[in-house]
Amino acid sequence: MLHWLVEPGLWSNSAVHLGAAVGVVVAAVSAWVGLFTVLRAQSFAGHALADVAMAGGAGAGLLAWPALVGFVTGSLAGAGAMELIGVERLRQRDVATGVVLGAATGLSALFLYLVSLDSSSSGATQVILFGSLFSVSAHVLWLVLVACALLAVGVAAIGRPLLFSSVSPEAAGARGVRVARVSLSFTAVMAVTVGLSAIVLGAVLSTALLIGPPAAALRLGRGLRATGLAAAAFGTGAVLAGVVASYDSYYWWPSHRALPVSFCVVTVIVLELAAVSAVRALARRRGDG
Amino acid sequence: MFASFMTNAWLVGTVVALLAGATGFFVVMRGSSFAAHAVPNGAFAGAAGATLVGVAPLIGLVSFSVLAALGIGASRRHRSDVATAMALVGMLALGAAFLSLSAAYEPQVEALLFGEILGVSSSQLAPVLAIAAACFVALAVMYRPLLLQAAAPDLAAARGLNATTLEMGFMLTLALGASLTVPVVGALLSFSLTVGPPAAARLLTRRPATALALSMGLSLATLWVALAAAYQSDLPVGFFVGTLSALLYVVVRLATRRRGAGA
C-alpha cells in the first residue's frame, strides 16, 4: 500500500528529512499563533508581514546573510512600521497595512533586482518568494527550534490576556487588560512566526500556514484546546503530505519536473479547508432537515 | 527619456496610473485593501498559466483574475479576510507551480511580480486601452451606488441597492483593472498605486469628487516620477512606484496632522 503512495528513496533522503522536520515544527507553531490571527481577523496584517519578510530576505541575500535572519528582522521591522502608522485609529489599520505592504514590495523589487545582477545567485528570487524546503541547512533546524521555543514561551506568557482581548477587546480593557500592549506583543510574535514560515513556504506563501490550518480547525467548532490541536494537526499534516507529493511528482511526468513543495503544501491546506467547510455544510443541512 | 521605445511605456503607464487612482479611491473608501492586493495575484497565476499552455497572456490574465475576484466576492458575507488570504496564497502557489513546470526563467517571474513597463509592445496597446475604457465606464456607473453604500449602508439597502451585486460588480472591475496593470507594474506593485495615492488624497479632502480627481492625479504623478527616475537610474520601476506611493502617504499624513494640530 505504502509502495503506491511513496516513490523510491523518500525514506533515505536526508534533505527531505531535514526539510520535513523544519516544516513540521514551524507548521505547528504557525497554526497556534495563526489561531489568534484568525480570531482577531488580522489575516491582512499577517500577510503584510510576510511581504515585509520578503524584503528582508532579499536584503539578506544582497548582504550574503542567512535568509532566515533577513526574514525575521524584516518582518519585525514591518511590524514596527505598521504600529507606527496605524496605531492611532482602528479605521486606518487597513490603509496603514496596505501602505507598509506597498513600500515593502517596492524594496523587494530593488533588492531582488540587485541580487539578480550577481550572476552566481541564480534562483534567489524563487527561493525567497516561494521557498525551497529541501535546501535548508542543518543549522537552520537548530535556529528554528530555538526560535519556536521562544515563541511558545511568548505565547504562553500573553496567552490568557491575548485570548480575552481577541474575543472581546472592550470587556478585556474593562477588566484591566492592557489591550494595546497585548496587541503589540502579539504583532511581534506573529512577525517572528511569519519569518520562520517564510523558510518553509517562501515569504509570500507563508500566509497559508498562518491562516489555513487555524481557519479549518475553527470551523470544526470545538473548544480552544481541541481547536489548537486540530490546527497543529492540519498544519503539520499539510507539510508532510506536501513534502511527499512534491517528492513523488518528480516521477509523474516524463519531463521529470517536480512540483514545488510550497505549491503542494498550499494545495493540501486549501483542500483541508474546503473539506472541513463541506462537512460542516452537510452537517448543518442534516440538522435542518 | 522620451525615446521611441519609451513611448509605449509612458502611454500605458499613464492609463494604468489613472485607472489605479480611480479604483483605489473606492478601495480605500470601502476598506478592501486586502482584496485589492489579492486579486492581482490571480492575474499573476493566469499569466504564468498562459505561458505554460501557450495561449495569449491576456486570456490567462483576465480569466484567472476574474476567478479570484469572484471567489473573494462570493465569500464576502462571512469571514472575508480568511477567504481572501486563502485565495491569495492559492493563486500565488498556482502561479509558482505553472512557472516551475514551464521552466520559465527567473526574469519572467520577476517581470510578472514586479512588472516590466519597458516591455509593453505596440500590439498590447489596443487591448489595454479597451479594457481601461471598460473599467472607467463601470466605475462611472457604480460611482453613486458605491458612495452611498460606503457612507450609509442601511440607506443603500432601503433604496433597494443589492449589496451582493454591487460587491461583485466592483470586484469584477478590480479584476479587469488588475489584468491590465499586472503586465505593466507587476502583481505585487499594482497594489501600491491602488492604495498609497488614494489614501493620501483622502486625507487631503473630504469631498468625494475632489478626492477621486486628486487620487488619480497623485497616482499619475507617482508613476511619471517613478518612470523618469527608473529611466535615469537604471533601477527597477517597481522600486520607485512602491516606495514613492508609501512616501507620499506618510508625508501627507505628517503634513495634515501638523495643520490639524495648528488649527
* Range name among A219-233, A234-248, A264-278, B89-103 with the lowest pLDDT average: B89-103
The one-letter code for the residue type at B106 is E
Q: What is the DSSP letter of B116?
A: -
User: Measured at the alpha carbon of residue B124, what is the angle toward residues B118 and B129, in degrees to the nearest 5?
Assistant: 105
Q: What would the pLDDT profile of A114-171 be if each residue is shown by its tens digit?
A: 887 876 656 777 777 787 788 788 888 888 899 999 998 888 888 888 888 888 888 8
- pLDDT recorded at residue A132: 79
State percent of chain B over pLDDT 90. Answer: 19
| pLDDT score of A253 more than 80 | no
B33's CB contacts (< 8 A; 6+ apart) are A44, A94, A95, A97, A98, B27, B191, B194, B195
- Based on its alpha-carbon atoms, the radius of gyration of chain A, rounded to whole angstroms, reads 19
pLDDT score at A269: 94
Of A104, A123, A207, the CB nearest to B88: A207
pTM of the model: 0.87
- A222-231, B82-91, B177-186: range with lowest mean pLDDT: B177-186
Question: CATH number of B4-188: 1.10.3470.10, 1.10.357.140, 3.30.360.10, 3.10.20.600?
Answer: 1.10.3470.10
Where is A148: in which H helix or E strand? helix A138-167
Q: Which residue of A has its CA nearest to B112?
A: A109
User: Residue A282 corresponds to which cell in the numbers above?
Assistant: 452537510
- Tell me the average pLDDT across B190-194: 85
Q: Is B213 on the interface with A (CB under 8 A)?
A: no
Which domains does chain A possess? 2-288 (1.10.3470.10)
If pLDDT is split at 50, 70 and 90, which confidence band does A248 have?
confident
* Segment among A35-44, A104-113, B80-89, B158-167 with least mean pLDDT: B158-167
Mean pLDDT of A212-221: 91
List Cβ neighbours of B119 (8 Å cut-off, separation of 6 or more).
B111, B183
**Range among A61-65, A255-259, B148-152, B213-217 with highest mean pLDDT value:** B213-217
Q: Which of B37, B89, B233 to mutate: most A Cβ within 10 Å?
A: B89
**Chain B residues within an 8 Å CB radius of A49:** none
Range A45-55 average pLDDT: 90
Q: Which of B94, B191, B235 is facing A102, going by the closest CB pair?
A: B191
Is B108 within 8 Å of chain A by CB?
Answer: no
Long-range pairs for B66-69: beta carbons < 8 A, 24 or more residues apart: B66/B42, B66/B172, B66/B175, B66/B176, B66/B179, B67/B42, B68/B38, B68/B39, B68/B41, B68/B42, B68/B43, B68/B175, B69/B35, B69/B39, B69/B42, B69/B171, B69/B172, B69/B174, B69/B175
Q: What average pLDDT is seen over chain A?
A: 85
Average pLDDT rounded to a whole number, residues A22-46: 90
Out of A41, A106, A212, the one facing B239 most closely (by C-beta) is A106
Contact call for A207 and B195, based on CB within 8 A: no
Please check the confidence at residue A81 and state whether its pLDDT lies above 80: yes
Q: Where are the domains of chain B?
A: 4-188
Residue A172 pLDDT > 50: yes
- Tens digit of pLDDT for each residue in B156-184? 888 877 878 888 888 899 898 888 878 77
At B220 the pLDDT is: 94
Residue range B98-119: average pLDDT? 72
Look-up: residue for cell 452611498? Answer: B148
pLDDT mean over A236-249 = 90
User: What band does A91 get if pLDDT is binned at 50, 70 and 90?
Assistant: low
Cα–Cα distance for residue pair A34/A98, rounded to 1 Å: 20
| In the predicted structure, residue A2 carries a pLDDT above the cut 60 | no
Q: What ipTM was reported for this prediction?
A: 0.86
**CB contacts, 8 Å: A46 with chain B:** 85
> Residue B263: which pLDDT band, with cuts at 50, 70 and 90?
very low
